[in-house]
A and B are shown apart, each in its own frame.
Chain A
Amino acid sequence: MQNKLILPELGEGIVSATVVEWLVKEGDAVAIDDDVVEIATDKATFNVSAVCDGKVKQILAKSGEEVKIGGILAIIE
C-alpha cells in the first residue's frame, strides 16, 4: 500500500513552502510521527512528520524546491 506524504496546511494565506532538507533518503524505513523533511516559510522552519509506518519509496520534491500546500513531498509504502 502506498501513502502520499503531503505538505500540510501551515496557516491562513500560506500557499506554498520551500523544502529545506530531507532528514531521510529513498529506501529508508520511517515510523509514524518521525520527522522526515524540513520545510520553510517566512522566518519559520517546520518539520513534516510521517503519517504512517513504511519505507520511503520516492522523494518528489528536492531541497530548494517550492511546493504548494497539499502538494506531494514523497511516496511512502
Chain B
Amino acid sequence: MVNNCEFIDWGVVDYAEAYQRQKELVKNVIKGGPQKLIVCEHPAVLTCGRTTKIDSLLAPGSVLEKQGIPVIKVDRGGDITLHSPGQLVIYPIFNLGFYRRDLHVFLRKLEQTIIDLLSGFGIVANRIPDRTGVWVGGKKIASIGIGVSKWVSYHGVGFNFATDLSLFSLIRPCGLDVTMTSLQKLSKNEISREEVLSRLKEKFRIEFDLKYL
C-alpha cells in the first residue's frame, strides 16, 4: 500500500507557531487529506511533555531568562527536551490507520528511520529497551515523543544534526542522565542540511511506504 504524503520544509519557525500549524494539519489529515512530513528548526526552547519530572529542568529561571529560552508545556508523550537551531525537528502528521493502529509500532518505525539515516552516513545507531529514542554508543542523537488524535500523529522527532550540545546542560534530557551527541559531531566530513533532508525524505518514504505529492 502506498500512502500519499506532502514533504514540507518550514525552515526556522517559532515553536508555538509550528504547534498551531501542526494542529491545523492534523485536522486536514483527519478529514482525509494527504499525510504531511514536516521538517523545521526552532529557536532555542525547552518543552515539557506530559510525564515531565519535577527535577528534569536543571537551570534556574533567571539563567533561562537571561538566555531568552522559554519553557513550554506541551501535549506529547515524554519528559523535557530542548529544541534549538541545528536540530532538525521532524513532525510526521500521519494516519496511523495505515500503520496497524499501533502506537508502539509507530514509535519503533520512527526510530528505525533515524537508524537507517545514520547508517547511510556510516554511523551505527541503535535502540535501548524502554528508552525510546535513537542512540549512538550510549549517547542520544534523537529524541521522540508523539501525540495522537483520531489516530493521526503530531509532534515527532528531534534529531541532533548540528545542535549546540552545550545547551542540553540546562536539563536532564527526557528525564534521564544522558549525554547527547549530533551527526555533525560524529561525522568526519561536513554534511549539509540539504543532504540530510534529502536522505531523510528517502528513508521515510521506504519505512512508511510513502508516495510524495
- Please tell me which stretch of B3-11, B75-83, B188-196, B197-205 contacts chain A, meaning at least 4 of its Cβ atoms lie within 8 angstroms of it: B75-83
- How far does the alpha carbon of A45 sit from the alpha carbon of B170 in the complex, in Å? 25
CB-defined contacts of B51 to chain A, threshold 8 Å: 20, 40
Counting CB contacts under 8 A, is B106 at the interface?
yes
Describe A's contact surface by its main secondary structure.
strand
| Contact A44/B148 with A12-B105, A20-B50 known, Cβ cut-off 8 Å | yes
The answer on a CB contact under 8 Å between A45 and B146 is yes
CB-defined contacts of B133 to chain A, threshold 8 Å: 43
Which has the most chain B C-beta neighbours within 10 Å: A9, A14, A44? A44
Which A residues have a C-beta under 8 Å from some C-beta of B? 9-14, 20-21, 33, 35, 38, 40-47, 49
- Please tell me which stretch of B86-94, B96-104, B177-185 contacts chain A, meaning at least 4 of its Cβ atoms lie within 8 angstroms of it: B96-104
- How far does the alpha carbon of A52 sit from the alpha carbon of B100 in the complex, in Å? 24
The answer on a CB contact under 8 Å between A13 and B104 is yes
**A-B Cβ contacts below 8 A, count:** 74
Interface residues of B toward A: which range? Answer: 20 to 34
The answer on a CB contact under 8 Å between B103 and A11 is yes
- How far does the alpha carbon of A46 sit from the alpha carbon of B101 in the complex, in Å? 11
CB-defined contacts of A20 to chain B, threshold 8 Å: 50-51
Interface residues of B in 26-55 (CB under 8 A from A): 49-51
The answer on a CB contact under 8 Å between A38 and B103 is no
The answer on a CB contact under 8 Å between B101 and A43 is no
Which has the most chain B C-beta neighbours within 10 Å: A33, A38, A40, A41? A40
List 11 contacting pairs A-B, 8 Å CB cutoff, sorted by A.
Answer: A12-B105, A13-B104, A38-B75, A41-B104, A43-B77, A43-B78, A43-B107, A45-B146, A45-B147, A47-B149, A47-B150
| Contact A45/B75 with A35-B149, A40-B51 known, Cβ cut-off 8 Å | yes
